[in-house]
Amino acid sequence: MEITLNWYLTLSALLFSMGVIGFLFRRNAIIMLMCVELMLNSVNITLVAFSQYLGDVSGQILVFFVMSVAAAEAAVGLALVIAIFRNKLTIDVTKINLFKY
Partner 1 sequence: MTAPILFFVFAIVALAAALGMLISKNPVSSALWLILNLFCVAGLYLTMNAEFIAVIQVLVYAGAIMVLFVFVIMLLNLAELPDLKKVDWRRLTAYTVGMGLLSMLMYITASALDLVPDPPSLEAAANNGSVSHLAKVMFTQYAMPLEVIGILLLAATIGSVVIAKRKPV
Q: Using CB under 8 A, which residues numbered 37 to 66 contact partner 1?
A: 37-38, 41, 44-45, 48-49, 51-58, 60-61, 63-65
Find the shortest distance in angstroms from Cβ 89 to partner 1: 8
Query: What residue type is 87 in one-letter code?
Result: N
Q: Binding of partner 1 at residue 22 (CB under 8 A)?
A: yes
Query: What's the CA gap between 86 and 88, in Å, rounded?
Result: 6
Query: What's the CA gap between 68 and 79, in Å, rounded?
Result: 17
Q: Binding of partner 1 at residue 17 (CB under 8 A)?
A: yes
Q: Binding of partner 1 at residue 100 (CB under 8 A)?
A: no
Query: What residue type is 69 in one-letter code?
Result: V
Find the shortest distance in angstroms from Cβ 101 to partner 1: 20
Q: Binding of partner 1 at residue 96 (CB under 8 A)?
A: no
Residue 28 vs 100, nearer CB to partner 1 = 28
Residue 9 vs 100, nearer CB to partner 1 = 9
Query: What residue type is 64 in one-letter code?
Result: F
77 alpha carbon, distance to own chain's centre: 12
Query: What's the CA gap between 96 and 85, in Å, rounded?
Result: 10
